[in-house]
Structure 1
């Protein structure tokens, strides 16, 4: 049975590792600020270059076909460790700096060069590579077992553990006098298997990192989506509140809290239409503060404002739930009384007039007297809207003014 040639296998897997490393270079989605970053992609690139150069042994100078591949294999272990360290929330600072590792790689090149030029010893090179890589991989294994994300910790520890075991076996074979074990590890079949397992391991490490970062990116997106939804709901609530405030500003008199003229007329039109449809009675009271100009002149405009507020509150408390009170402007108010005839409207008007005299509006310790003139109009069949009803109530109000004020008149 034909067995894959070691050089061909090394070249093929080297190209595959280069492609995988290049494809995932720049992977840097983070978990709580931690990520292996591009270290493991660079480790795959170093692994691939080492295998490609190793496959060209005999065609390139020793420095490129023997020494450099071994240094790149050590660089692969260094980068695997650096990637593992980055999952630690407080990694040792020197492990993240590039120059200590660069010096370390230069120093490792010296013994590899010795066993390649001065003493061409393949077993010594293999033993040296294993002895250097084992502590680096063990350190990476320790970091990952403690700090790696749970969604990839088991896989990563397994892969790094397999690498450690394999290098330990190689180191034991190198120092052992058991020739059959050394010969077995150096057979083409075992070397091809080693290359395949190494290639699969580095690919699985990067795939696991991609899974970790993808899961974390998905979790981050979900968290952002939930936060965005909360903010959206808050924004909708704020918009609704602002709309309510704007509606209140557009429909409410800011001084008294009663309906303003526009809102009062719009509501009155609806009530008049309803009264006509069902044949209900309706009355309208036009209310004016007597001698309001004199109050402003004598006591000042702030006291006049207090008088308006007091009368507005007085009108509001006199309303039933179905009634509508509004301030039409200045010192003029209106009260719409659905399902109310003339007699009931007169009683309401008299209560308003008499109650105004008891209101307490003080100026410098003195009570400001308040008096009301009120005009009443009842709904007629010819009232298609509030204008004609208001006009009759206004005529009645003027009759009350001309009749001596502080009285009630009806149209």
Structure 2
């Protein structure tokens, strides 16, 4: 069994409810990622998809959730053979699910987080898929089920303990180590045969198969010899990390990243070229397995204690035991959701009131401006009318002013300078 967490999207989606429904809809749907009918219909094992959708859609962390799965190499028939009956297998799966939740949320009660478990068997093996809302339901605070930097050691220890306890396939055995990691998205995202992406994938596949074959045939003893070989040919190594090598395609001049055991720093190439050496490694691994499991149990206990203290301090600090109150059917969440709705309504009402006040102020300001303009126009008209009356001939003073104006005009005409003329008598 392996534990895998899917990479989540950052930010809040435009429609959080649709995002939540999309997550549950895919896991519970009858069609796989390619749109094909599933060989086995998904089975809801635990949790309420409706509650999950409501919390993720309308909660304090809209659109935020963590998803992943517990993936078994064994089929149901193989597990029945190990444990005796289908009922025993169901009991084992239930115990693994409960202990995994305890690993993620030590110190919290089941009513403090919302999760859904869905069983898939359409790929012949058993997959226990899970999705958890990123919200603690009592306080409404954010709750991250898995943070890689802080939780990886604890989750890995849980995986090793469960695999040992229930005799499940161990992914850490030397024979499980792959010489190279294929690009799984070839199957998920096919591309056009004439596209640059198709050329990159073809180059990567051909080069990887060539190098793996040479490693299995014993031509290379370590990774440094592969890098030296590539740099002496038309292929140039552009970047080297602890886990991979990037090689430039001479035709496109773009890099392809090669990943897998033979491309890792300090890789033991005898593991891929000698059958006897692989058997020796397996024997050595089995001899040391019990010591490793003992160390993992001690590590698991230590990290669980630390994680429990952190969660209790953050969410159950007031009582210290995580049992502040009991509730069913998410009633408290419904109450907090109702309070949030009321708060949103109050905020919207306040915004509408502000808008109405602004519109009223703008209308009043425009009205006052129009009144002022009308008064100004009236004053100008009155002034002009008074001037006209003052200038009218019926007014003696007006007649005097008019006479003075006529005299001034006549004087201007008399004093007007004549333009000089040339010899022909034309004005210049």
The two structures share one fold, judged by TM-score above 0.5 = no
Q: Which has the higher helix share?
A: 1
Q: TM-score, normalised by structure 2?
A: 0.28
TM-score by length of 1: 0.29
